[in-house]
Chain A
Amino acid sequence: MRVELKVFASLAKYAAHPLLSADGVVELPSPVSVGQIADALNIPRKEIKLIFLNGIHAQIDTAVKDGDRVGFFPPIGGG
């Protein structure tokens, strides 16, 4: 299945992973959870503070289906 992934701020460095296409699409066997996408792309789970699935707040164990959009944020606190 194909999932669109966006990695923000200090997590953007993980977008260089070969499994992730230049337009931010990753192909994975289903079924899969948000956390398993992070694992497949070598994004340490402990660096992820905030997860969105199709624009809505989600958890690390939330299930992902074909065509979903996933966003990962680190903590952001600068002022």
Chain B
Amino acid sequence: MREIAADIEATWQSRKHHTGQDVRTISDRDMAAIAEKHRQPVREVCIQCLKMGITPLRYLRNSPAISLDEQIILAESEVAVAGCGGLGGQVIVHLARLGIGRLLVFDPDAFDETNLNRQTLSSSDNLNVLKAEEAARQVAMINPAVEVSAHAIAITDPGQKPLFSKTNVVVDALDSAKDRLFLASLASDLGIPLIHGAVAGFEGRVLTVFPGDTGMEALYSSEKPDGPEPSSAENLLGTPALAPALIATFQAMAVLNILLGRGPSTGNRLLHLDLANASLNAFTL
């Protein structure tokens, strides 16, 4: 690590920050060259730079909204995103640009043409490609200092718990009640906060679930005394791109708040957003 620090020290460049201060910075290209020379992941070199008070150019405009010390916390964090579709794809892009050090991405499906209206990782030239693998490919292009583990599987088995042994936050970007409830119970068992998001039409909601909270049961439990579950709203209204992008942004912000110890610390607070009526309502579960 001492040799890496010496190379960083010999490479950084001074630059005027937009706030007017001179700051020590380093380019992606220089971090990649140092990483290659010492056979280390770019993430490790990036963390070393941050610890030396040197800001990678790619994070310069994160500050001062995100401080250098907070950028280190993000680079040393791991977030699991379950689902790489409309919500998950956008969450993954946000987390990569924020500089979350490790991402676990899960989705058993491949892109098809019906995804193109909303799923930000999908395009005409990656149809039939596995979503999790495409997420890893795109993150590598967005931010090489992020390490991605792509899992083309659903999270349906308690035996998968060891995958999350280093995970700080889980993001629920799934699309079925059963899978969401299983993920929530898994996260609760592991003591990991979960960020739930769901959309229908031009509306959507987000909920931070801390271990032991029962909010997800209120949203998805099938224990209805008077008959079968009604049809879910997204099947009646469709899902244009806008609500997934909005809710994914709220989910990424919730991840940031948890990792950095900011924001509202109360659970069971459901935020419902309606783009068509430009309204936001908060409810207590």
Chain A residues within CB distance 8 Å of chain B: 6, 8-11, 44-50, 52, 55-57, 71, 73-79
- Are A57's CB and B232's CB within 8 A? no
- Are A79's CB and B199's CB within 8 A? yes
- Are B85's CB and A45's CB within 8 A? no
- Are B233's CB and A10's CB within 8 A? yes
Task: Give, as a whole number of angstroms, the nearest-CB distance from A9 to chain B.
Answer: 4
Q: Closest A-chain residue to B119, C-beta based? A: A79
- Are A71's CB and B232's CB within 8 A? no
Bound form: Cα–Cα A50–B283 in Å: 11
- Are B177's CB and A77's CB within 8 A? yes
Given contacts A9-B233, A10-B236, A57-B285, contact A75 B226 (CB under 8 A): no
Tell me which residues across on chain A come within 8 A of B236, comparing CB atoms: 10, 74
- Are A10's CB and B237's CB within 8 A? yes
Selecting from B67-75, B142-150, B168-176, B258-266, the interface stretch reads: B168-176
- Are A46's CB and B174's CB within 8 A? no
Residue in B180, B203, B228 whose beta carbon sits within 8 Å of that of A77 in the complex: B180
Chain B residues within CB distance 8 Å of chain A: 83, 85-88, 173-177, 180, 197-201, 203-205, 218-220, 224, 226-234, 236-237, 239, 243-244, 272, 274, 281-285
- Are A8's CB and B203's CB within 8 A? yes
Given contacts A8-B274, A9-B200, A46-B227, contact A76 B233 (CB under 8 A): yes
Residue in A56, A74, A77 whose beta carbon sits within 8 Å of that of B284 in the complex: A56
Residue in B88, B219, B274 whose beta carbon sits within 8 Å of that of A79 in the complex: B88
- Are A76's CB and B283's CB within 8 A? no
Tell me which residues across on chain B come within 8 A of A55, comparing CB atoms: 281-284
Bound form: Cα–Cα A17–B180 in Å: 34
Q: Closest B-chain residue to A49, C-beta based? A: B230
- Are B198's CB and A8's CB within 8 A? no
Q: Closest A-chain residue to B178, C-beta based? A: A77
Given contacts A49-B230, A57-B283, A75-B230, contact A9 B175 (CB under 8 A): no
Task: Give, as a whole number of angstroms, the nearest-CB distance from A4 to chain B.
Answer: 12
Bound form: Cα–Cα A48–B239 in Å: 20
Bound form: Cα–Cα A46–B243 in Å: 25
Residue in B83, B174, B232 whose beta carbon sits within 8 Å of that of A75 in the complex: B232
- Are A75's CB and B85's CB within 8 A? no
Q: Which 3 A-B pairs have the closest CB atoms?
A: A78-B234, A79-B175, A9-B233
Bound form: Cα–Cα A44–B72 in Å: 52
Bound form: Cα–Cα A79–B206 in Å: 12
- Are B232's CB and A78's CB within 8 A? yes
Tell me which residues across on chain A come within 8 A of B85, comparing CB atoms: 79
Q: Closest A-chain residue to B83, C-beta based? A: A79
- Are A78's CB and B200's CB within 8 A? yes
- Are A52's CB and B283's CB within 8 A? yes
- Are A9's CB and B230's CB within 8 A? no
Bound form: Cα–Cα A50–B83 in Å: 24
Task: Give, as a whole number of angstroms, the nearest-CB distance from A76 to chain B.
Answer: 5
Q: Closest A-chain residue to B276, C-beta based? A: A12
